[in-house]
Amino acid sequence: MFRHLLTTTAITCSLALGIATGGFAQTDDAKKAKQEAKEAGRDAGDAAKHAGKATEHAAKKTGQVVEDAAKETATGTKKAAKAVKHAVTPDTTTATCKDGTVQYGKTKTTACIDHGGVR
């Protein structure tokens, strides 16, 4: 019976100490996991911040490119309009009329017809 009591006590102590040791190990692992999760969160935040800055920079660059393209398109359109105007409009002359205005027409006489004639 003493042998049975001694064996049972030894097993109980071993289990109790083993569980306590395992509990401490689990606590250390939990602390390490918490710290690693915290660092991973910081890293994710930094990555998001950098991605945001890169996106903002890309948006500014895109805006500049679009603005430049719009200016070039406007300039090209104006040049094309002038070319069409010159192709469609016949040659004109400038005349100073008797009422002091400057008018344009095919001839000086037709330019000043409603302004008292050519000066």
Nearest CA to 106 among 82, 89, 118, 87? 89
Q: Which two tokens stand for residue 47?
A: 């990555």
Q: Which two tokens stand for residue 31?
A: 């602390």
Overall domain count for the chain: 2
Whether residue 7 sits in one domain with residue 59: yes
φ, ψ for residue 110, nearest 5 deg = -70, -25
Whether residue 44 sits in one domain with residue 13: yes
For each of the chain's 119 residues, which pLDDT tens digit applies? 666 666 766 676 555 555 544 445 568 888 889 999 999 999 999 999 999 999 999 999 999 999 999 999 999 999 999 888 777 766 788 999 999 999 988 889 988 998 999 98
Residues in the chain, how many? 119
**What count of other Cβ atoms lies within 10 Å of the Cβ of residue 117?**
13
Whether residue 13 sits in one domain with residue 67: yes
Whether residue 79 sits in one domain with residue 29: yes
**Domain enclosing residue 33, as ranges:** 2-87
Whether residue 102 sits in one domain with residue 82: no
**118 DSSP assignment:** B
Whether residue 99 sits in one domain with residue 42: no
d(CA 23, CA 35): 18
d(CA 10, CA 71): 90
Whether residue 18 sits in one domain with residue 69: yes
d(CA 119, CA 109): 10
Whether residue 34 sits in one domain with residue 6: yes
Q: Is pTM, for the whole model, over 0.85? A: no
